[in-house]
A = this chain, B = another copy of it.
């Protein structure tokens, strides 16, 4: 009981401060979309939002792309959406429907039928052509959906609670949350040539709290005109460098899905794969990648029990793959993560995790490897290892840097290859163990 009270206090503290810091007060949203969220009766408390819809109202078919979990136990909605993207090649996907509170995973044939019914009812209510809706679910696994509540919730939401206001977007982002302590929503405007476009993105994810599997779900929507095949490549590139470059606890869920929709409502020339639009393609890719990173970082900020936000920056690797593999190895090391929690300038654990990363010979040369702490306040960085030799570390300065919530750890491999990768992680705290181990006691 004591523990539960403590847990609630911890969560309450996080909810208030993180929400205040990371949930936007206003936003600028893409043209031609309506979104919203309501409570439909999946979550047991009778009020928390648990159903979200996003709909393309531009009047012309949108392009869609999606990347899915590689977990072999794929939830029913993942299987249904994956099939849909495959069959349509991403052309004419105009809506997304999401329920939270139940993941519809490990639910057999009934689960597949439920996911398909969510698509059918959403398409019908929104007057889409059939197979125009992607479906996502997140929450408890192993239980069938309360499908009647969802199927009667869809028309209610679609007909009376969709819109394009900031509050509609917040409602939508809130309705996909499970154990998240704040809704994750980002928006921005950018220009490509003379055209101004808008991007909005929302996502959820905060590690797993049993019996929830807190899936990583996210979607970006833009009013830029993009072909489905270009959008798929851009999404893959962006997700590799954002949602696939973060870790809270290293576990990959059965439901992870990131989707993108582009409806072209802001006009301008179509961005496709042919060489004539290579420059605009590259600009869009950069915008979406930066944006995806911003969104993915919010998931790390909301990591279970996280007290630190750490960027692992690997430089001068032989390849991007090497750089990412090494960054991931450090970011996932429990020893490194507990050292960060303990505010301990432990270069040994960093070096050790670099050394066992799954990369080829020659990718890491001890005598060329340097590691430093880079404070985010712009003050001088602190060298820990220089060309494989440990530096005499100023412990006072280290403590100063480690007292901050944010920290960048720069690993320079010195291979001459010039490739780099960033990875974002949080620390491993007592709260993590409390949330994941003690929640029942």
Contact = CB atoms under 8 A, between A and B. Distances in A.
Interface stretch (A51-59, A180-188, A206-214): A206-214
B108 A389 contact: yes
A355 interface: yes
Interface of A: 70-73, 106, 108, 141-142, 207-208, 210-211, 213, 249-254, 333-335, 338-339, 341-342, 344, 346-349, 351-356, 364-366, 385, 388-390, 427-430, 432-434, 436-441
A439 B339 CA distance: 10
Nearest to A351: B73
Nearest to A249: B334
24 contacts: A70-B356, A72-B364, A72-B366, A73-B351, A73-B352, A73-B354, A73-B364, A106-B388, A108-B388, A208-B335, A208-B349, A208-B352, A210-B348, A210-B349, A211-B346, A213-B349, A250-B333, A251-B333, A341-B433, A342-B436, A342-B438, A342-B441, A429-B437, A430-B434
Which of A71, A252, A427, A436 has the largest count of B CB atoms less than 10 A from its CB?
A436
Given A208-B349, A210-B346, A341 B251 contact: no
A76 to B, nearest CB: 11
Which of A211, A341, A351 has the largest count of B CB atoms less than 10 A from its CB?
A351
A31 B430 CA distance: 49
Contacts of A70: 356
B250 A437 contact: no
A430 B213 CA distance: 22
A69 to B, nearest CB: 8
B432 A349 contact: no
A435 B398 CA distance: 20
